[in-house]
Amino acid sequence: MALLVQKYGGTSVGSIERIEIVAKKVKAARDAGDDIVVVVSAMSGETNRLVGLASEITDNPAPRELDVLLSTGEQVTIALLSMALEKLGCPARSYTGSQVHILTDSAHNKARIKDIDGARMHEDLQLGRVVVVAGFQGVDEHGNITTLGRGGSDTTAVALAAALNADECQIYTDVDGVYTTDPRLVPKARKLERITFEEMLEMASLGSKVLQIRSVEFAGKYAVPLRVLSSFEPGEGTLITLEEEGMEQAVISGIAFNRDEAKLTILGVPDQPGVASKILGPIANANIEVDMIIQNIAEDATTDFTFTVHRNDYDRAMYVLNETAEELGAREVAGDNKIIKISLVGVGMRSHAGIASTMFKALADEGINIRMISTSEIKVSVVVDEKYLELGVRALHEAFELDKKPAA
């Protein structure tokens, strides 16, 4: 008998009909002998409706009150799902974040979970009840209602799984697992049976938006096995776990990409200690997030410095960088907002040489010019012109034979 935490998102509970389908799935899992804790989001559309009400009053609602408002969305779902379960003869108890003491800090609208008291839930489980918990919300030490920010229900599920020492945290979504790359781009993309937390983090942060990054970090930190699977279709989904000895492991797990990149370069900066922070400090102060950073030393004791930002921040970043260039006496500033990033991700890279050169050759064979390169332990990223996105991803998927299941 296992203890499973199952999380169903807004689309999965988007109507009474769908809530009843979820109830049947939950009951089936319980009838199979497992203890079940369910975490649910607000019914799809409900959070937007509530935000709409607030915005009729003000563009700047008091953050504390916005949390009081938004937390009702999940509260409605937990009550309805519990009713649906009881109707099926499956005893159930609903709990708000506050009721099971999901203690958070006081950062309203983006609170972080500090602690969870599992006692009451364990009690219910022992009495044979399904426990239904509102995702996305908690309570601070003063008893104020907090929310974890949008998508935070995944984090609630993982945190509950960790606190209850669950055997698995199952995230039900509208996709049936994690793929080697986006199947809309590469029809031969293959669903992965397993992937490590680290790989998932690289995949997620690069645009495969299956799971909230924070929830994956959390799951990795507490070693909670995480499974992504479909609310609507049968299947085992993808299991996200720690890297295991002897685990069937491909060298490359997948290819992630990011469409919304832009790059900026400052050329001919007199090279001196601290120049990087002088360039990036003002960018950070303007609240612009920087992704890749590359610095080359030129021969004339000046340096060239390139970084990428989100395409939406390009104009602002360019303005800031021009001011910095003047101050530092740089030669010129250049930029390009028609670029994209493609990344190979895989823990197998650690023990396999030659991944990068295979990657560069595959791209070169298609005549794709690489504009930037950045590497980490389990990832190689390249920046190329945006017109090469599909061609590049498909070429790499083919070159690394990702459509084929790796040999054990």
Binding site for its own copies (CB under 8 A): 16, 19-20, 50, 53-54, 56-58, 61-62, 64-66, 68-69, 71-72, 75-76, 78-80, 82-84, 86-87, 92-94, 96, 98-99, 120, 143-145
Q: Which residues contact 280 (CB under 8 A, 6 or more apart)?
A: 290, 293, 307
Q: For residue 375, what are its two tokens?
A: 């590497």
Nearest residue (CB) to its own copies, 29 versus 78: 78
Q: Shortest distance, CB of residue 337 to its own copies, whole angstroms?
A: 38
Nearest residue (CB) to its own copies, 85 versus 362: 85
Nearest residue (CB) to its own copies, 108 versus 263: 108
Nearest residue (CB) to its own copies, 143 versus 367: 143
Q: Shortest distance, CB of residue 362 to its own copies, whole angstroms?
A: 53
Nearest residue (CB) to its own copies, 133 versus 224: 133
Nearest residue (CB) to its own copies, 73 versus 151: 73
Nearest residue (CB) to its own copies, 96 versus 238: 96
Residue 154 C-beta-side C-alpha neighbours within 13 Å: 21
Contact 271, 329 (CB under 8 A): no
Q: Shortest distance, CB of residue 194 to its own copies, whole angstroms?
A: 37
Q: Shortest distance, CB of residue 229 to its own copies, whole angstroms?
A: 25
Q: Shortest distance, CB of residue 170 to its own copies, whole angstroms?
A: 23
Q: Shortest distance, CB of residue 45 to its own copies, whole angstroms?
A: 13
243 by Cβ neighbours in 10 Å (0-12 / 13-18 / 19+) ranks as middle
Edge-first strand order for the sheet with 332-345 is 290-297, 302-310, 254-270, 332-345, 379-385, 372-376
Q: For residue 210, what are its two tokens?
A: 């299956």
Q: Shortest distance, CB of residue 367 to its own copies, whole angstroms?
A: 57
Residue 356 C-beta-side C-alpha neighbours within 13 Å: 15
Nearest residue (CB) to its own copies, 96 versus 337: 96
Q: Shortest distance, CB of residue 136 to its own copies, whole angstroms?
A: 14
